A and B are shown apart, each in its own frame.
Chain A
Amino acid sequence: MPQSEEPPTQSSSALIRSELELIRRVTDQVVRSGDFRVALDTLVEGASRILGVERASILLLHPESGFLQIEAARGLKPEVIEKTRVRPGEGIAGWVVETGEPLVISDVREFEMWRKSTGSRQNKDYLDYSALSVPLYFDGRTQGVMNFNHKLDGSPFDESDLEVALVAVQQAAVALFAAKLHEEVMKKKVWEGELEAARKIQQRLLPQKPPSLPGCEIAARCRMCHHVGGDYFDFEFVDDNWLMVCIGDVSGHGLGSAILASSVRAWMRTALRRRIPIETVLEMVNDLFIEDAEPGMFMTALLGVIDSFNHRFRYTCAGHLMPMVIQGDQPLELPLWGTNLPLGVDRGVHFHAEEVLQLAPGDILCLMTDGLVEAENFTGECFGFERFRQALVAQREEPVEAIVEAIFQEINTFCQGEDQAQDDCTLIVIKFV
């Protein structure tokens, strides 16, 4: 069974917490200073410590020269940092930036690109020949690379090291994106600019298309309201037939909330890759959230795992709306709300899993944010749970994309226009086939 029912061991807990803490520290740097260089330095230091490496660096493509240059480094001589220029396609870093593919190499001497680029220098600069290099994907294309060399214990890099590196480089991309928008906000110096920046960050974090899970059809949509921010959803495969799904709503607004949502996404993905129970994931994320968030800020969330082979859904609800399930032409009777507090209220809170839902082919599972059911018409009446259930039952035979479209249309009609929305609306529809 891919997701462990046992709590993590002390050493794996320590590793997970180190990775999550690194993400938190980088995010904190970006939020406090808006300076991506400080954030990248923090990232290089922290990732090096977690991986136990002597050398690490982040290289970015410079648009004027077209070369990769070092922006942050650890364990490299100043003259190396100053003078390094890597052409895309040359050497390991150049290959990674050109292909967009990560590399885990136990011996770089076997890599033709490395032999071509280093020639007679190969014996002087390397203590060992294992290397790890991951692409930094930002603004729609690969724009840099994060490199790691010289593990202190002498062991070669492996797949678990690659997972840590991918998390680190993902945060580097968020830091760069947030810093770029922060610069634009500072230039514009208007409140609407910051809200637009926050909206862009959140849109960028959302999955661009639903995942393909055997035995399920999935559709999702998030409609952001202009003056609020905070809805978030994510998918991440735990195994071939196990899919993590998360939906949430960060309170508040602005760049800080958006960057916090990006941290939550990274924390959850990192912890879930270690296959720890979802309740434990929320406990870890909760404590980190409190460290980073402004006082009072909180996040409702529902975190679950779909087992498409056995048609089961195991989930934990943190102050969020419970799922809605249609079986046949009837909604399943479930409580409207779960048993746990939202994230960010108190430190050290224990989270409990809700019941496991046993579903069958033809059943529809719906996750949503409160913006959907609380959408108001001109008289102040809310769309409500009952209208939502009826709309779902009426559309149950349709493909999932059509169900999502139909429900949003019903809400638009009820509110007399999409531009009347007061809050973000997010809907995930999963049909078991």
Chain B
Amino acid sequence: MNIGERWEEGVLILSLEGRLTIGDGDVELSGFIDEAFARSEKKIILDLRGVKKVDSSGLAELLRIRRVATAENASIKLISDLGSVKNVFEMTRLVGVFDFYDDVMSAVHSLRDD
């Protein structure tokens, strides 16, 4: 998986391209996120629109990130369009656990108030 990194109004945006599955994407994402928290990043957006497939290991990594973010007093937002990836979150009822947005700027603006 490829992960693009950029900042917008002080918010770190990680754009994921590829598969977020066991041994393929979950490990890379984990590394990026742990480095971000080590740098004391407090506002992070994960753009999942380029993710082709997510499995339970991918979901587990996102849940881990959520838990670490809470411990670090940081905010995590997700961007996903309607499709198979969003479907996986719906099926497992995890869609209500994360904050989802349709586009980057909506997510960035939401973080102004956090």
Contact = CB atoms under 8 A, between A and B. Distances in A.
Contacts of A426: none
Nearest to A319: B92
A296 B91 contact: no
B91 A298 contact: no
Contact of B61 (A253, A296, A342): A296
Interface residues of A, number: 31
A345 B92 CA distance: 11
B60 interface: yes
Interface residues of B, number: 24
A336 interface: yes
Given A253-B22, A319-B93, A337-B90, A295 B56 contact: no
B59 A298 contact: yes
B90 A319 contact: no
Given A227-B22, A345-B97, A336 B59 contact: no
A380 B94 CA distance: 24
Given A227-B23, A296-B63, A252 B57 contact: yes
Contacts of A341: 92-94, 96-97
A370 B91 contact: yes
B94 A342 contact: yes
B57 A345 contact: no
B91 A321 contact: yes
B65 interface: yes
Most chain A Cβ neighbours within 10 Å, of B22, B56, B65:
B56
Interface of A: 227-228, 230, 249-253, 294-298, 300, 319-321, 336-342, 344-346, 370, 380, 382, 423
Q: Which 8 A-B pairs have the closest CB atoms?
A: A296-B64, A251-B56, A251-B60, A319-B92, A296-B63, A296-B60, A337-B91, A295-B64
B62 interface: yes
B37 to A, nearest CB: 13
A1 to B, nearest CB: 29
Given A319-B92, A319-B94, A337-B92, A297 B22 contact: no
B1 interface: no
A296 B67 contact: yes
Contact of A298 (B23, B63, B65): B63
A305 to B, nearest CB: 22
Interface string B19-56: 00011000000000000000000000000000010011
